């Protein structure tokens, strides 16, 4: 009756341990749960869990425990002991080591007394025993095998004990229950490895896409990675803040969600035409059209100089003044072609005058600017026309649409919103959705500040020089005052 109750208790424990193993996220805690249950059931004094290395050539120590010595490694720290080779120098299977044998054969094995056998090499055991005043005797090892029958690792136990703490051999009942435990552990471990692999693949894919977008333009290379890094830093600062954000704490999944959003915030630029992204001057298309205008200036000046050879004195004075005016206008247009923060009304009128200029030579009329060039040169701020700005801003909508097409895990469900809202403003005047403060989550606000800071300080923009820190914080300060960005996040950035 007692034996039946014991078996029932262990079956109940196996059920509970299966649930616990599936729920445990930390891999070290996972291994600790498995080893503790294996040792509890067999009353073993010692135990080790090994996992097969990535290259399949070694058994790596994951957790080691000896109860009588109050010794345990592998929970809070990594076991730094040399790994057990699965093959010798000639590439032959290492079947002399007990754990390696079990890993290669995929079978359970036990030893009644490790000192009274000659199948396995016990030199390492003897060395450990001597150094620690210990006596290893009975051994049992169970492979951790996945659904494809691949060995993921080995559970090894040492010195099973009876009720009086005497060392005994591992029984068939021990082996049966340990095999069941190992099976559950292997399933849980396989799932964890699968999830970790998918997470790793997702992160690698995200960074790969971000890198490709950064490389699309020589002027914005590194922008996404810098924004992502600053986003992570700001999220960490908020998590650790004990003042305004003292009640905000991100879980590991929430932090990862913010990180992914930072990396994905400009994915929509994959559809933005490169000539818009790289428009370094107002007249740039496939080339900077200021060069075409320069040619026109030179042609007209050449025509004027030709006319100077055969004109009246009065006409000569007019033409000489015109040459001076053309030189001044050329210098002005070169400067106007470079996008600035603001173009004065007088400069716009001057461009209109240059556009109206016409010189007739040998029956043909020559002008300096066409309609499209005039339109571009009179851009008030930066280098982009309003329709080009609209096209550039489309990237936020495309980001949202692209990310919404992906089935993110539930824990990352907000990535499309966080990533696409980095151009929104608290006052509702941002884009693409004109979200107000009430609808703009903290995570999106973080990315918005990170993106603005990087854009202002970047030294690689084609249309402007990077701002100094003092200039950047002054501009961001005005934006916070106008209720465009979050003042508290800005304060954290300034003080970090």
Query: Please, what is the angle between helix 172-216 and helix 252-264, to 10°?
Result: 30
Alpha helices (runs of H) in 337-441, residue ranges in sequence order? 345-356, 371-377, 386-404, 415-420
User: What is the rounded CA–CA span in Å between residue 443 and residue 234?
Assistant: 10
Reported as a single tens digit per residue, the pLDDT across 417-471 is 999 999 999 999 999 999 999 999 999 999 999 999 999 998 766 666 778 999 9
Reported as a single tens digit per residue, the pLDDT across 13-59 is 666 666 766 666 677 788 888 899 899 989 999 999 999 998 999 99
User: What is the rounded CA–CA span in Å between residue 69 and residue 342?
Assistant: 76
User: Which stretches of 90-191 are assigned E, i.e. beta strand?
Assistant: 109-111, 139-145, 151-158, 160-161, 167-168
| Average pLDDT of span 272-287 | 86
What does the pLDDT read at residue 109? 95
User: What is the rounded CA–CA span in Å between residue 167 and residue 164?
Assistant: 9
Report the share of the chain in percent with pLDDT over 70: 93
User: What is the rounded CA–CA span in Å between residue 265 and residue 251?
Assistant: 21
Nearest to 6 by CA among 41, 36, 35: 41
Q: Which helix (H) or strand (E) holds 393?
A: helix 386-404
pLDDT band at 1 (very low <50, low <70, confident <90, very high): very low
Contact 307, 361 (CB under 8 A): yes
Angle at 45 (CA atoms; ends 64, 176), nearest 5 degrees:
90
**Rg of the chain's alpha carbons, rounded to an integer?**
36
Q: From 3.90.1150.10, 3.40.50.620, 1.10.3210.10, 3.40.50.300, which CATH number describes the 201-277+387-495 domain? A: 1.10.3210.10
Reported as a single tens digit per residue, the pLDDT across 171-216 is 999 998 899 888 888 888 888 888 888 889 989 999 998 888 888 8
| Cβ atoms < 10 Å from Cβ of 403 | 22
> How far, rounded to the nearest angstrom, does the alpha carbon of residue 355 sit from its chain's CA centroid?
50
| Cβ atoms < 10 Å from Cβ of 90 | 5
Whether pLDDT at 5 is above 80: no
Cis, peptide link before residue 251, omega less than 30° from 0:
no
pLDDT top residue among 459 and 303? 303
**Picking from 15-24, 46-55, 333-342, 486-495, which range would have the lowest pLDDT averaged per residue?**
15-24
Alpha helices (runs of H) in 45-163, residue ranges in sequence order? 98-105, 123-132
pLDDT band at 67 (very low <50, low <70, confident <90, very high): very high
What does the pLDDT read at residue 350? 96
| Average pLDDT of span 230-244 | 95
| Average pLDDT of span 373-396 | 93
3 state DSSP class of 462: coil
Whether pLDDT at 217 is above 80: no
The pLDDT mean for the chain works out to: 90
What does the pLDDT read at residue 185? 84
What does the pLDDT read at residue 8? 62
**Picking from 209-223, 270-284, 298-312, 444-458, which range would have the lowest pLDDT averaged per residue?**
209-223
| Cβ atoms < 10 Å from Cβ of 465 | 8
| Average pLDDT of span 157-168 | 94
Model confidence pTM above 0.85: no
| Cβ atoms < 10 Å from Cβ of 493 | 21
| Homologous superfamily (CATH) for 2-191 | GAF domain (3.30.450.40)
Q: Are strands 71-73 and 58-66 parallel, antiparallel or unpaired?
A: antiparallel
Domain layout of the chain by residue ranges: 2-191, 201-277+387-495, 290-383
| Average pLDDT of span 79-83 | 88
3 state DSSP class of 136: coil
What does the pLDDT read at residue 219? 66
Nearest to 281 by CA among 268, 294, 298: 294
């Amino acid at each position: 009756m007692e034996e039946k109750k014991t078996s029932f208790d262990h079956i109940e424990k196996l059920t509970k341990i299966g649930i616990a193993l599936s729920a445990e996220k930390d891999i070290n805690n996972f291994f600790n749960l498995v080893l503790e249950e294996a040792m509890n059931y067999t009353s073993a004094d010692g135990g080790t869990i090994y996992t097969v290395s990535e290259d399949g050539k070694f058994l790596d120590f994951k957790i080691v425990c000896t109860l009588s010595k109050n010794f345990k490694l592998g929970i809070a720290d990594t076991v730094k002991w040399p790994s057990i080779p699965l093959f010798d120098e000639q590439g032959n299977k290492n079947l002399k080591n007990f754990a390696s044998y079990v890993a290669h054969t995929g079978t359970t094995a036990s030893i009644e007394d490790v000192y009274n056998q000659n199948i396995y090499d016990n030199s390492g055991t003897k060395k450990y025993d001597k150094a620690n005043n210990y006596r290893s005797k009975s051994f049992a090892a169970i492979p951790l095998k996945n659904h494809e029958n691949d060995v993921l690792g080995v559970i090894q136990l040492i010195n099973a004990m009876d009720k009086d703490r005497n060392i005994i051999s591992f029984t068939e009942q021990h082996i049966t229950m340990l095999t069941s435990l190992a099976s559950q552990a292997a399933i849980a471990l396989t799932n964890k490895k699968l999830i970790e692999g998918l997470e790793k693949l997702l992160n690698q894919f995200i960074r790969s896409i971000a890198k490709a977008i950064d490389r699309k333009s020589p002027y914005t290379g590194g922008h996404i990675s810098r924004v992502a890094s600053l986003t992570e830093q700001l999220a960490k600062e908020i998590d650790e803040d004990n003042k305004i954000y003292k009640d905000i704490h991100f879980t590991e999944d929430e932090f990862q969600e913010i990180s992914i959003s930072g990396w994905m915030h400009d994915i929509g630029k994959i559809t933005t035409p490169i000539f818009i992204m790289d428009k370094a001057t107002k007249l740039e298309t496939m080339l900077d059209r200021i060069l075409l205008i320069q040619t026109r200036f030179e042609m007209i000046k050449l025509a004027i100089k030709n006319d100077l050879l055969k004109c009246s004195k009065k006409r000569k004075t007019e033409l000489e003044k015109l040459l001076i005016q053309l030189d001044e206008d050329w210098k002005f247009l070169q400067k106007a072609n470079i996008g600035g923060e603001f173009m004065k009304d007088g400069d716009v009128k001057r461009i209109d005058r240059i556009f109206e200029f016409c010189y007739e030579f040998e029956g043909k009329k020559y002008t300096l600017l066409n309609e499209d060039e005039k339109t571009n040169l009179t851009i008030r701020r930066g280098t982009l026309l309003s329709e080009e700005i609209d096209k550039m801003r489309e990237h936020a909508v495309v980001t949202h649409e692209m990310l919404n097409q992906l089935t993110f895990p539930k824990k990352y469900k907000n990535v499309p919103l966080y990533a696409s809202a980095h151009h929104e403003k608290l006052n509702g005047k941002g884009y693409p959705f004109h979200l107000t403060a009430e609808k703009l989550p903290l995570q999106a606000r973080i990315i918005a500040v990170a993106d603005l800071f990087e854009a202002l300080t970047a030294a690689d923009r084609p249309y402007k020089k990077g701002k100094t820190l003092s200039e950047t914080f002054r501009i961001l300060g005005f934006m916070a005052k106008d209720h465009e960005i979050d003042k508290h996040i800005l304060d954290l950035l300034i003080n970090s």
